Amino acid sequence: MSVEIIQERLATYVCRSTLEEEQALREITQEIILAGLGRTDFFGRAGFQGGTCLRIFHSLNRFSEDMDFALNAPDSTFQLSPYLEQIRQELTVYGYELEIDDRSRAGAVRQAFVKDDSVGKLLRLDYRPRSGPMRKLRIKLEVDTNPPSGASYEMPVLDFPFPAAVRLFDLPSLFAGKLHALLCRDYLKGRDWYDFIWYTARRISINHTLLSAALDQQGPWKGRAPKTDNAWCVEQLRVIIAQLDWMQARRDVQRFVKPHELPSLELWTREYFLRQSAKLSQSD
């Protein structure tokens, strides 16, 4: 039975809590969604980006909730609904009974939520809640139909639940997207800074063509045609790092990492992130 494939995959996570089981099941579902999209023309038109991309394809050590995509080129006529139907068909094979909420409206971003509260009832869960139902599985999908120019891609093969080619942003382009979020987001998201540590620790280069185009399109530099380089990024990050509440940032990321990683969050201070950002200058 197909649900046994999910059961076997879940066992590889060695979960230690209800939360970890929920996160693992969400990630398994995300992989099935990607494989299903790989059976369509979707990745001929779009690339996978964001934290979930980094988690699944580059072993980022935190869980991620949303699935973010961007078209290769602007297309205001793009419709997400045909691909949502493919996702429904694919997940039904594995025991899901989906509720799909397509919230695509006018604007550049097509958005939908995939929800399920059935597959968990078919699995042998070690940390099933003692009282009340399991929380409904919920995954948000977003597709940017008016992307900035300059992204570069790679196309690895996902091997679960079956081989499927997935087009994704390469690491310098992913880092550019993360820096755009760090420089422009008007609220604090600790997960962004967790990912920033991952990139800087590995001395990942920045796709400045993409970053400059993204900043010109959205955020405080909109319409100003900024020309970024690593030194420019360091200066802008210093201003932001000095203003942030690092206790709040730690709290945001705690539920997305395993317990053995929590002590590392105690290092999160203004001085620590200034040192991390300085590594960009060292890699010029």
Tell me the domain boundaries of the chain.
Answer: 1-169, 170-284
Q: What is the mean pLDDT of residues 167-190?
A: 97
- List b or e across 74-87, with b for residues whose CB sees 16 or more CB atoms inside 10 angstroms: eeeebebeebbebb
- Percentage of residues in the chain having pLDDT higher than 90: 86
pTM, two decimal places: 0.94
CATH topology of domain 1-169: Nuclear Transport Factor 2; Chain: A, (3.10.450)
- Percentage of residues in the chain having pLDDT higher than 70: 98
Name the residue with higher pLDDT: 233 or 258: 233
Flag whether pLDDT at 214 surpasses 70.
Answer: yes
* CA of residue 50 relative to chain centroid, distance: 4
Mean pLDDT of the chain: 94
Instruction: Give the angle subtended at the CA of 208 by the CAs of 204 and 212, to the nearest 5°.
Output: 140
Q: How much is the pLDDT for 93?
A: 92
Name the residue with higher pLDDT: 7 or 282: 7
Residue 40 binned pLDDT confidence (cut-offs 50, 70, 90): very high
How are the residues of the chain apportioned to helix, strand and coil, as percentages rounded to the nearest 5?
Answer: 50, 15, 40
Q: How much is the pLDDT for 106?
A: 73
* CA of residue 79 relative to chain centroid, distance: 21
What's 241's DSSP letter?
H
Q: Which of 79-93, 123-137, 195-209, 219-233 has the lowest mean pLDDT?
A: 123-137
Q: What is the mean pLDDT of residues 129-135?
A: 68
In sequence order, the 6+-apart residues with CB closer than 8 A to the CB of 68 are 48, 49, 50, 51, 52, 53, 142, 144
Cβ atoms of 38 and 165 closer than 8 Å = yes
Cβ atoms of 237 and 157 closer than 8 Å = no
